[in-house]
Amino acid sequence: MNLTLKIWRQKDAQSKGKMVDYKVTEISEHMSFLEMMDVLNEQLINSGEEPVAFDHDCREGICGMCSMYINGEAHGPDRGVTTCQLHMRMFKDGDTITIEPFRAKAFPVLKDLVVDRGAFDRIQHAGGYISVNTSGNTQDANSLPISKHAADEAMDAATCIGCGACVASCKNSSAMLFVGAKVSQYALLPQGQVEATDRVRNMVAQMDLEGFGNCTNTGACEVECPKGISLENIARMNRELLKSNF
Amino acid sequence: MSVLDSKVPKGPLKDKWIDYKNHIDLVNPANKRNIDVIVVGTGLAGGSAAATLAELGYNVKTFCYQDSPRRAHSIAAQGGINAAKNYQGDGDSTYRLFYDTVKGGDYRSREANVYRLAEVSANIIDQCVAQGVPFARDYGGLLDNRSFGGVLVSRTFYAKGQTGQQLLLGAYSAMNRQIARGKITPFNRHEMLDVVKVNGKARGIIARNLVTGEIERHSAHAVVIASGGYGNVYFLSTNAMGSNATAAWKIHKKGAFFANPCYTQIHPTCIPRSGDYQSKLTLMSESLRNDGRIWVPKNMDDVMAIREGKKKPTDLSEDERDYYLERRYPAFGNLVPRDVASRAAKERCDAGYGVNATGEAVYLDFASAIERYGKEQAKIHNIKNASAAKIYELGAAIVKAKYGNLFQMYEKIVDQDPYKTPMMIYPAVHYTMGGVWVDYNLMTTVDGLYCIGEANFSDHGANRLGASALMQGLADGYFVLPYTIGDYLSHEIRTGKIPTDSPEFDAAEKEVTDKINFFVNNKGSHSVDYYHKKLGNIMWEKCGMSRNATGLKEAMVEIKALREDFYKNVSVPGKADEFNNELEKAGRVADFLELGELFAKDALAREESCGGHFREESVELDGEQKGEAKRNDKEFAFVSAWEYKGEPGEAVLHKEELEFNEIELKQRSYK
Amino acid sequence: MSGFFKSSIGRKYAMALSAFFLMFFLLQHFAINILSVFSPDAFNEASHFMGTFWAVQYLLQPILIFGVIYHFVMGFYLEIKNKNARVVKYAKNNGAANSSWMSRNMIYSGLAILAFLVLHFIDFWLPELNTKYIQGNMSGLLADGESFRYYEELVHKFVNPIRVIAYVIAFVFLSLHLMHGFSSAFQSAGVTSMRKEKLQIFGKAYAIIIPLGFIFIAIYHHFNH
């Protein structure tokens, strides 16, 4: 198929950017979206232009590196996928596709479609861990039974890949789904209880400091999340924060 | 006497590691504060090492090319992690894990290292659970296990199909704690481009800030390379797009020997290639072979009909199917080790039985598993005379609970529903057992330069068992390196801060900037990917699942010629001092173009078939094992460690003879 | 604790709390107003009680005023803050793909409600204050001194069709606001999902029935005066 691409080009963090139109031809419907971008870049390199910079790595939907706001949605129109898993069969011959970086004040653009999601890392530095040293004589793993239900729920929260689609999709650029998932994983497990109070307070404080917006429960994050992280995690974080203050 | 000293401690196998730990020199806490360690790579090995070293009190700097340590490719490991916990009471033990690993590695690994790995494996699970890794549990709240290829016990711990992700996030959380304490300084979006040696010791690295293009100098008392494997030398692999061999190859060029480069694991269950535009291959966890049955049609007519779309795989009756693994290996069936399963698939496809348009695919069928689980569930729920549809529904729910995310992934990529029609799979490059040579201390042949995880060669011999990569990465990082590096660093307490303005740093930086300037100024006519794809093609055709002397010789010549062409005609747009993805790729492909040649040279020198390395000249000619790989223990029971001599083709071979005192060398039989 | 209400989540709680109060107020307001359809006398009694009972006048009324002001001011404040959290806007944004119109436009439905409240205050609340606290007439009686004035005043207001139309439009916006606001407040308060599903049905019913009821009252009196 043949496509028109409207892509955000920005030289670096300091420069102003703009949308630029490109044409690609002979795109197979079996290609992934990023393979289509590879075709465009190969074309640009061969004609002496600078290729479009975009983040990507594992290309199987788990590393969370790829981003892109495609036709007005994070990771494009498909559900439960990252951009690297989005396939061209979702589009039609002759389509115009608008491709922008994830936008939020807390995610500054570094170049073209590449953004800096360091804010997520800093939130995790603030409390995304259980303080346990690597001694080699930690208690036996089975000495602490955890109900299957709690373990499964913690796992569901822990599947977050930290891609930032929640922030990008939220009309308020709120990071609460991400932080809620991280807080929930530990809140659901007995190992996480000891530091629960400080963890939720510190992580929320850091989240606020990074300049993310406030949650108004539109639910867009949950819909766009490639891993289907539930809004329930935000509710749980709210409870955890309330608990930590009383 | 070889120049290689493995430094394996004396004494009985099972006491070696304990005795070693009891007798090493330690660094006192006050002195640790004055010692810097650089860790390159933040996957399971690098991340766990960085966190543990920082916990001990060293000042750690970590480097990764991704935007966050959490994105390292360990995250993509699906199936699980082995540990000799024997929670299932099925006869597992440290010895059995050790034995399985050595046997699975086709007797080409170092006994002492593997035993240590098995020994610490149980600690890994304890540690990860304490960190909050949500492993799968049974209804009693205890940890669940599954079984994996090549072994007869269930010792694999898992977290859905995302075990690697959860373990990496665990290691990353341990890093976070140390970053918050200021003991780890993370350098994300940074790529190590060379190691700096001062007086023969590794004293720092040259790194490029991938956002600004700035070249930076970082010094340390020891450097740890944990940069993963070199599977991307094939262009198409299950590795991440950015996975590269640059760190490992640069240290090789600075004196670290490179061991067994030809040992590559071709994973049997990957989604087949669909076209020339393909940028990477996707793995489907080996755990699928627990329940999936692999087959191709028995008759060529059916193959043709399926390829032309006239027949569907579900149209074929049991009699018309060839479950070739069950046929050839009745004892292990679909659970034979990866190398065996991959070669068997290739054998069928080469014989013309491949089931997709490219002729490179076999079926992985869940129909009988769904039926079996369905009947089981019907019994559990007391449903008498359940209809076929009900049984299917019940069975599909169980399969979904076990492999749901993998099935979804498959459906997204292939656009077919694997609950209804068999999956198509084909082998793909997945893991490299070869890597930088290290001794028992995980130190390379350069003092103060360590190599851990997939980047080193140490524990898997010629073939890695499923769910053992995660185990090795975390064993190295959490439980081995922190001890062994302490022994070395105990001699560094009087060294003081390492200056970065020395002539050695000047020279290393100049070498790096010269190379970068060459690339951006070389106005060639072909993109970096053009060369990478060509290299990949040579590697896959001539150094792939089966190799022969003629092909390997050709490969060496072709890769060398391709490398020369690359330096003449490669085109790298953009500038050096900016975010420049093409420039990053150029440097990585340049190194692959050298590594590929050494790879072929190593494969040529090893005139035997062992593990992932299959030489067509070395097969059993008769008997029950006819046609199977033939190992040659008399002449090849050694590690090939290559020393760089200016050109990859001129590398000099050093042999580390492998001694087997605990395990008797046997023909691997899965029949 | 002081930090709590300055945190993003603390403010969510505060918005939810004020919303709960306002939704409760709306319910009792509706309950009294609907009496006017069935029984003018009962309506008069209830109105007089609410208008003169000290706990309502001096305790609940100030809380209500504070709640209204807080909900509006914080609503606007957060809206501005949230807008600023994205400096460069998307060239193309498909919000409809992942969220409801109501959830994305709370600020506009809120503004419409604010405009209505101004009208409502001028219509009822200011005259009420004038009568009771400036003229000092706490009797609640008409000029004839015999019957209560509340029902008469109510009916009189809905004679004007323009006012009725304005009320109808305002209540449509209220309905839209509540469509998202009701369940959103529970979500903010951290209510778990199991109850949330039932709450959502209840919330939708609330968001439709209450405003529809108010619309019915306005139209009923318009045509039956």
Mean pLDDT of A79-98: 96
Would you state the pLDDT for residue B670?
78
- Taking only residues 153 to 182 of chain A, the set having a beta carbon closer than 8 angstroms to any beta carbon of chain C reads 169, 171-174, 176
Instruction: Determine the pLDDT at residue C2.
Output: 62
Whether residue B430 contacts residue B231, with contact meaning beta carbons closer than 8 Å, is answered with yes
A176/C94 Cβ within 8 A:
no
pLDDT at B404: 85
pLDDT tens for residues B64-108?
A: 999 999 999 999 998 899 999 999 999 999 999 999 999 999 999
Which is higher by pLDDT, B405 or B374? B374
- Chain C residues with at least one Cβ partner in A under 8 Å: 1, 3-4, 7-13, 78, 81-95, 97-100, 103-104, 106, 180, 183-184, 187-193, 196
Whether ipTM tops 0.90, in short, is yes
State the average pLDDT for chain B: 95
CB pair distance less than 8 Å for C187 and A207:
no
Catalytic member of B71, B338, B606, B615: B338
Top residue of B176, B212, B243, B407 to mutate, by most chain A CBs within 10 Å, is B176
CATH number at C108 reads 1.20.1300.10
| For testing contact with chain A, the best of C1, C6, C8 (most A CBs within 10 A) | C8
C95 vs A173, A217, A220: nearest CB: A220
Residue B362 has pLDDT above 70, yes or no: yes
Residue B401 pLDDT grade (very low, low, confident, very high; cuts 50, 70, 90): confident
Structure confidence at residue B274 (pLDDT): 83
The arithmetic mean of pLDDT across residues B183-193, rounded, is 98
Which of C68, C193, A134 is closest to B130 using CA atoms? A134
Tokens 């007519």 -> residue: B301
- A179-218 pLDDT tens trace: 999 999 999 999 999 999 999 999 999 999 999 999 999 9
Of A6, A211, A218, Cβ closest to residue C104: A218
Q: Which position has the higher pLDDT, B539 or B277? A: B539
Share above pLDDT 70 across residues of chain A, in percent, rounded to a whole number? 100
Question: Whole-angstrom Cα distance, residue C180 to residue C182?
Answer: 6
Check CB contact under 8 Å for A72 and C12.
no
Q: What are the b/e assignments for A90-128, b being 16+ CB within 10 Å?
A: bbeeeeebbbbbbbbbbbbbbbbbbbbbbbbbbbbbbbb
- The reply to whether B338 belongs to the active site is yes
- Which one has a higher pLDDT value, B628 or C178? C178
Largest pairwise CA distance in chain B: 83
Tokens for B504, please give them.
């050695």
For residue B421, which of B313, B559, B580 has the smallest C-alpha distance? B313
Test A191 with B211 for CB contact under 8 angstroms. no
Q: Which CATH superfamily is domain A117-132+146-244 in?
A: Alpha-helical ferredoxin (1.10.1060.10)
Contact with chain A for residue B131, Cβ under 8 A: yes
pLDDT in tens, B310-358: 999 999 999 999 999 999 999 889 988 888 899 999 999 999 999 998 8
Distance from CA of C113 to the nearest CA of A (A): 18
Each domain of chain B, given as residue ranges in start order, spans 269-428, 523-643+652-657
Considering CB atoms only, which of A204, A218, A231 is closest to C7?
A204
Strands B59-63 and B184-187, sheet pairing: parallel
- Which residue intervals of B311-439 are DSSP H helices? 324-328, 338-350, 367-380, 388-414
* From B66, B125, B179, residue closest to A125, measured CB to CB: B179
Beta-carbon contacts of residue B380 (< 8 Å; ≥ 6 apart): none
DSSP lists the bridge partners of residue B205 as: B195, B218
Query: Containing domain of residue C140, as a range?
Result: 8-84+103-224
The ranges of chain C with pLDDT < 70 are 1-2, 194-195
**CA-to-CA distance for B136 and B313, rounded, in angstroms?**
33
Measure A158 CA to nearest chain C CA, in Å. 18
Residue in B33, B441, B68, C155 with CA at minimum distance from that of residue A178? B68
Measured distance CA(A53)–CA(A44) in Å, rounded: 12
| A71 close to C (CB below 8 A) | yes
> pLDDT tens digits, residue range B569-601?
999 999 999 999 999 999 999 999 999 999 999
- Tally of domains in chain C: 1
pLDDT of residue C1: 54
Helices (H), chain A: 33-46, 118-125, 148-158, 165-169, 176-187, 196-209, 220-224, 232-244
In a domain, C47, yes or no: yes
Express as a percent the part of chain B with pLDDT over 70.
Answer: 100
Q: Cβ separation of C13 and A214 shorter than 8 Å?
A: no
Cβ distance A134 to B174 less than 8 Å, yes or no, reads yes
d(CA C28, CA B413): 56
Quick check: A120 pLDDT over 80? yes
**Domain ranges (residues) in chain A:** 3-111, 117-132+146-244
Q: How confident is the model at residue C194, as a pLDDT?
A: 64
Q: What is the 3-state secondary structure (H, E, C) of B469-486?
A: HHHHHHHHHHHHHHHHHH
Cite the beta strand spans of A25-144 per DSSP E: 69-70, 73-74, 96-100, 109-111, 114-115
The band of B148, judged by pLDDT with boundaries at 50, 70 and 90, is confident
Provide φ and ψ at B193, rounded to 5°.
-115, -10
Supply the pLDDT for residue B240. Answer: 97
**Inter-chain contact B578–A120, Cβ cutoff 8 Å?**
no
CATH architecture of B523-643+652-657: Up-down Bundle (1.20)
Q: Are residues C98 and A216, on separate chains, in Cβ contact within 8 Å?
A: no
- Is the CB of B172 inside 8 Å of chain A's CB atoms? yes
Chain C: partners with 3+ C-beta pairs within 8 Å? A
How much is the average pLDDT of B394-402? 91
Which residue out of C4, C98, C104 would a mutagenesis test of the A interface target, given it has the greatest number of A Cβ atoms within 10 Å?
A: C98
Residue range C104-123, pLDDT digits in tens: 999 999 999 999 999 999 98
**Are A148 and B408 a contacting pair at CB < 8 A?**
no
pLDDT of residue B403: 86
C92 contacts in A (CB within 8 Å)? 6, 71-72, 98, 100
Q: Which CATH number fits domain A3-111: 1.10.10.10, 3.20.20.120, 3.10.20.30, 1.10.357.10?
A: 3.10.20.30
Q: Tens of pLDDT along B203-231?
A: 999 999 999 999 999 999 999 999 999 99
Residue numbers in B near A46 (CB within 8 A): 527
Q: What is the pLDDT of residue B2?
A: 73
A228 pLDDT higher than 70:
yes
Is pLDDT of A20 > 60? yes
Site of tokens 């500054």: A108
pLDDT tens for B48-70 read 999 999 999 999 999 999 999 99
Structure tokens, C155:
């009916």
Residue B584 CA, chain-centre distance (Å), reads: 22
Mean pLDDT of B265-292: 90
Residue with tokens 């922008």: A100
Question: Helix C150-157 to helix C193-224 angle, to the nearest 10 degrees?
Answer: 90
- Taking the mean position of all CA atoms in its chain, how far away is CA C11? 20
Q: Quick check: is C90 in a domain?
A: no
A contact test, residue of C1, C2, C9, C188 with most A CBs within 10 A:
C9
Q: How many helices (H) and strands (E) does chain C have?
A: 10, 0
**Which residues of A fall within a CB distance of 8 Å from C98?**
73, 169, 218-220, 223-224
Q: Would the pLDDT of A135 be above 90?
A: no
Q: What is the per-residue pLDDT for B276?
A: 84
Contacts of A242 in chain C (CB under 8 A): 4, 13, 190
